[in-house]
Amino acid sequence: MLRTWAERESRRIGKACTLLGPGIEGTAGTWADLGCGDGIFTAALVTLLQPGSEIYAVDKNRRALESLARNFAESYPQAQPHLVLADFTRPLALPALDGLLMANSLHFVEQKRRLLARLVSLLEPGGRLIVVEYNTRKGNVAVPKPLDAAGFLALAQEVGLHQVSILAKIPSSFLGEMYAGMGRR
């Protein structure tokens, strides 16, 4: 029997839910997943948010969005995200958001403070920014500009976020550990 994409990727989606769950489980609203790729963390949003929540999946890679669309048609036909072909480092045409997720995407950005200050303005008052990154200061080819957990906490406060915290940490076979950090507008 053939398994669906979500069944094949259940381990990765489960890890994403572990990281995000403490910050969003059971909430509702309009969210954006910036740098969504093929949709692992978008699937976690669908799993954790209440039914009827809206999700905007944003990526500059057309093939990644096409893959996400196929994956969701197969595994989550009831929860189709809005696909947005765009570079999240440039101004985005999105509605006011209750939440913004950046999972493994901020480590490609040089001017993190400038970008986050602009992105925070997309959030409704009380809206959440969640960042998932590797907890390291040492970059490499795959993670060229890392942001460790301590760096996230400081940066989130610098851009005006409140109730800043680390939601969860999990071991990673790549660079040792991943964390999810959150702050509220």
Domains of the chain: 5-184 (3.40.50.150)
pLDDT by position in tens, the chain (length 185): 669 999 999 999 999 999 999 999 999 999 999 999 999 999 999 999 999 999 999 999 999 999 999 999 999 999 999 999 999 999 999 999 999 999 999 999 999 999 999 999 999 999 999 999 999 999 899 999 999 999 999 999 999 999 999 999 999 988 999 999 999 99
Q: What pLDDT is stored for residue 173 in this prediction? A: 87
* pTM for the whole structure: 0.96
| CA neighbor of 30 nearest in space, from 49, 44, 16, 14 | 49
Cβ-Cβ contacts under 8 Å for 175 (sequence gap 6 or more): 134, 135, 136, 138, 140, 143, 146
Instruction: Return the axis-axis angle of helices 149-158 and 112-120, rounded to nearest 10°.
Output: 50
Instruction: Write the CA distances from 43 to 68, 72, 137, 145, 175, integer angstroms.
Output: 9, 8, 28, 26, 23
Burial of 152 (0-12, 13-18, 19+ CB in 10 A): buried
Q: What pLDDT is stored for residue 1 in this prediction? A: 60
Beta bridge partners of 100: 32, 129
Instruction: Give the strand pairing for 162-172 and 176-184.
Output: antiparallel
Alpha carbon of residue 98 to chain centroid = 13
Query: How many whole angstroms separate alpha carbon 120 and alpha carbon 23?
Result: 17
